[in-house]
Amino acid sequence: MEGGVRLRAGASKQDVREKVWEYLERSGLAAFPRPVHRRIPNFKGASHAAARLLSLQDFRAANTVKVNPDAPQKNARFLALEAKKTLLVPTPRLRTGLFNKIVPPPGATKEILRICATSQGIKEYSVPVGLDGKARVDLIVVGSVAVSENGWRIGKGEGYADMEYAMMVSMGAVQEDTPVITIVHDCQVVDIAEELLDDHDLTVDYILTPTRTIKTNCRRPKPQGILWHKVSYEMLEKIPILKSLRYREKQTGKDVTLQDEHSDLANANTPAVFNEMAMAENTRPQAATGSAQLGQCYVESDSLSPQLEGSGMITTVYVGNIPPSIRVSELKCALREFHTTPLRLNWQGAQHRAFLDYKDKAAAESAVSSLKGLSLGGNTLRVELAKNQRRKGQVEINSQK
Residues 91, 99: Cα–Cα separation, whole Å: 6
* Residue 333 domain flag: yes
Residues 159, 65: Cα–Cα separation, whole Å: 20
CA geometry: angle at 258 spanning 256 and 262, to 5°? 110
What CATH number has the domain bearing residue 193? 3.40.50.10420
* Residue 251 domain flag: no
What CATH number has the domain bearing residue 356? 3.30.70.330
Across 43-47, 54-58, 105-109, 266-270, least confident range: 266-270
Q: Is the pLDDT of residue 41 over 60?
A: yes
Residues 94, 163: Cα–Cα separation, whole Å: 9
Confidence of residue 131 (pLDDT cuts 50, 70, 90): low
Predicted pLDDT at 290: 34
Predicted pLDDT at 338: 80
Domain containing residue 135 = 13-215
Highest mean pLDDT among 144-148, 265-269, 276-280, 347-351: 144-148
The answer to whether 396 touches 390, Cβ cutoff 8 Å, is yes
* Residue 26 domain flag: yes
Q: What is the mean pLDDT of the chain?
A: 81
Q: Same domain for 101 and 196?
A: yes
* Residue 207 domain flag: yes
Q: Same domain for 179 and 39?
A: yes
Highest mean pLDDT among 14-28, 227-241, 352-366: 14-28
Q: Same domain for 211 and 330?
A: no
The answer to whether 49 touches 183, Cβ cutoff 8 Å, is yes
The set of residues, in sequence order, having a beta carbon less than 8 Å from that of 127 and lying 6+ positions away, is 100, 101, 103
Across 201-205, 211-215, 233-237, least confident range: 233-237
Residues 373, 279: Cα–Cα separation, whole Å: 25
Helices 160-171 and 240-251, interaxial angle, to 10°? 40
The answer to whether 60 touches 92, Cβ cutoff 8 Å, is no
Residues 375, 337: Cα–Cα separation, whole Å: 13
Number of domain units in the chain? 2
* Residue 94 domain flag: yes
Q: Same domain for 173 and 279?
A: no
Q: What tens digit of pLDDT does each residue of 264-311 get?
A: 444 444 443 333 333 323 333 333 333 333 233 334 444 434 444 445
Q: Same domain for 138 and 277?
A: no
User: Looking at per-residue confidence, does 326 or 154 come out higher?
Assistant: 154
